[in-house]
Structure formats: C-alpha cells, structure tokens
C-alpha cells in the first residue's frame, strides 16, 4: 500500500529536523507521528472529501498535513513554533496552491486569519472540518474554544491525550464526567474514537493517546427550541457551579461558586431555591448525576432569576 505521508517514519522525521538544524521541543509538546496506518485511520474518521476545506493545529513538520492535502481541497495549518513554517513550506511544497500555514498561537487565532488564508488560495468560505494532532497541554482548551468561537466548524477529528478523550466522552455518574464534558456537549457530540499507543510517535510520549471525532449538533430546550448563545452560556455557568465542589450537593456547590462572585453572586445565592424549583431539579442531588438536558433546564432557570 502506498504511504499516505512520506514523513511517517523515525528516519524521515529525523532527517527533516536535522536538515533544518532542529530538534523536538518538549516545552511545545512536540511528538511527531511516525505510523502511516494511524494517519490513514485519522483521514478515514474525518471522512474527508476532495472538496473539503480543513483547519489544522500543530502541523509540526507536515506529517499529517500531507495526508490531509492528499484528501482535501485545501488546508490551513496553525503552528506556534516560529521555526516550523520554513519546514512546512519545504515538506508541503507540492501542494503550495492548496496550503497556507499561519504562524500563531491557536488560542489567538481569529476567523479573519482563517478567512484571509482561504482567500489567498482562491477558496470562498471557511473550513468545515478541524483535523489535528493537538499539543496535549492545551488540547482540551482548543477544542472547546474552537467550537465556541467558530460556528463554521462542523466537525473535529483530533488526537488528544487519552484522559482528555475520556473526559469528553464521559457519561453522567462516571468519574471523568465534569463541567468540561457538559460545556463541550453544548456544542458537539462524540462520533467515533480509537486508541493510539506511545510507540506511534517520535519521541514517544509518556501517555496513551486517542483520536476522537466530534460532530457539531444543536441543543434544544424543553420546548424543542434551539439554544441561543446566551442560553448556552447560562447552562455552562450552571455546569461550572454544579462542579465547583465535586461530590457536594448542587445546593452547596452552587453556593460555593457564586459566593466568589461579588454582589451579583450573592443575589443568585438568595434565589437558588427558586432556581432549582423552576428547573425541576432536586438541590440535594450532585452535579455528576445530571445529564445535558438537566443542565439546560438549570441554565434556563438561571437566566430567569439572574
């Protein structure tokens, strides 16, 4: 079988880095994929089509980028390391008309940045698919941030640390279920996952990894009305409040959370009994037992009493 990316080996990765006088940077969480079979599984899970626009974060030397370019119309890649854009220009040179690197921290990326990169390739519109081998230290933050800020992203197929994937896919009542699970669930739903061992990277990380696909989905209130941005924000606030002191009752956890939020928080505390009554939620329950629709109800009640 023809390799999807010629860089997917230890020898080729070393050769590219050495040619540019570079080495892996532990501070940036750089672990380069060296197994072409994993790249093929990522591309399959992302369900790429020849007319797809793709956004990537952390392209490194371009190992996954090349696989994406072979299967999509164009790719915009965001790389924080100032040494790597020159490497990417070389490794991705055969696809120069379909590839644009942006040298920037992903958390500072704007829609304008992406739109300008797309326009420079003659592509109208913005990427619908986010595919990346993410820097593990900020992976969870980037995923939620991108779904919150970039409504044009329809899906994310991302490599993350296994424990992050466990948090994303956790069910109510499980140890990994928390505020992050709920907040991301307001935007997207898991749809496929596979594990990736340390031996598939150079250098091998000290953790297990997983590739996870998330599909954007609307969330509705009890009347079947899609939540707007304010309603989603309110539900996320209640998720944070419910998990402020894990294993405590909703009532106690919410009191702890809002106690640190000045006069407005004090006003919410005074109205918590009314909030729980409006939501139809027993305040003696614990946050980890509530599902997404129950957090939506808490959010709607919070909007009404805040």
What is the spatial distance between Cα 150 and Cα 110, in angstroms, rounded to a whole number?
A: 9
Residue 186 makes CB contacts below 8 A (sequence gap 6+) with: 219, 227, 232, 235, 236, 292
Angle between helices 272-279 and 262-270 (to 10 degrees): 60
- The pLDDT tens digits of the residues spanning 133-178 come to 999 999 999 999 999 999 999 999 999 999 999 999 999 999 999 9
pTM: 0.95
Answer for the pair 99, 69: CB distance below 8 angstroms, yes or no.
yes
What is the spatial distance between Cα 248 and Cα 242, in angstroms, rounded to a whole number?
A: 9
- The pLDDT tens digits of the residues spanning 219-273 come to 999 999 999 999 999 999 999 999 999 889 999 999 999 999 999 999 999 999 9
- Examine the pLDDT at 85 and tell me if it is beyond 80: yes
What is the spatial distance between Cα 18 and Cα 36, in angstroms, rounded to a whole number?
A: 21
């Amino acid at each position: 079988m023809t390799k999807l990316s010629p860089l997917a080996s230890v020898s080729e990765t070393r050769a590219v880095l050495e040619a540019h006088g570079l080495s892996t940077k532990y501070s940036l969480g750089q672990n380069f994929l060296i197994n072409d079979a994993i790249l093929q599984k990522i591309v399959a899970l992302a369900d790429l089509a020849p007319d797809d626009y793709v956004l990537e974060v952390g392209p490194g030397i371009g190992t996954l980028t090349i696989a994406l370019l072979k299967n999509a119309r164009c790719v915009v890649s965001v790389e924080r390391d100032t040494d790597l854009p020159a490497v990417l220009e070389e490794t991705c040179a055969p696809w120069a008309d379909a590839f644009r690197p942006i040298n920037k921290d992903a958390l500072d990326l704007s829609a304008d940045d992406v739109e300008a990169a797309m326009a420079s390739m003659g592509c109208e519109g913005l990427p619908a698919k986010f595919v990346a081998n993410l820097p593990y230290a900020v992976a969870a933050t980037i995923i939620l941030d991108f779904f919150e800020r970039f409504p044009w992203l329809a899906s994310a197929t991302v490599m993350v640390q296994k424990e992050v994937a466990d948090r994303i896919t956790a069910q109510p009542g499980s140890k990994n279920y928390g505020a992050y699970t709920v907040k991301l669930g307001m935007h997207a739903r898991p749809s496929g996952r596979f594990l990736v061992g340390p031996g598939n990277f150079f250098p091998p990380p000290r953790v297990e990894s997983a590739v996870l696909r998330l599909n954007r989905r609307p969330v509705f209130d009890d009347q079947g009305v899609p939540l707007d941005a304010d309603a989603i924000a309110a539900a996320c606030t209640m998720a944070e409040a419910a998990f402020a002191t894990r294993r405590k009752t909703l009532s106690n956890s919410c009191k702890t959370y809002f106690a640190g939020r000045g006069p407005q928080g004090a006003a919410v505390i005074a109205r918590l009994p009314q909030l729980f009554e409006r939501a139809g939620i027993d305040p003696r329950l614990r946050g980890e037992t509530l599902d997404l629709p129950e957090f939506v109800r808490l959010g709607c009640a919070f909007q009404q009493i805040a």
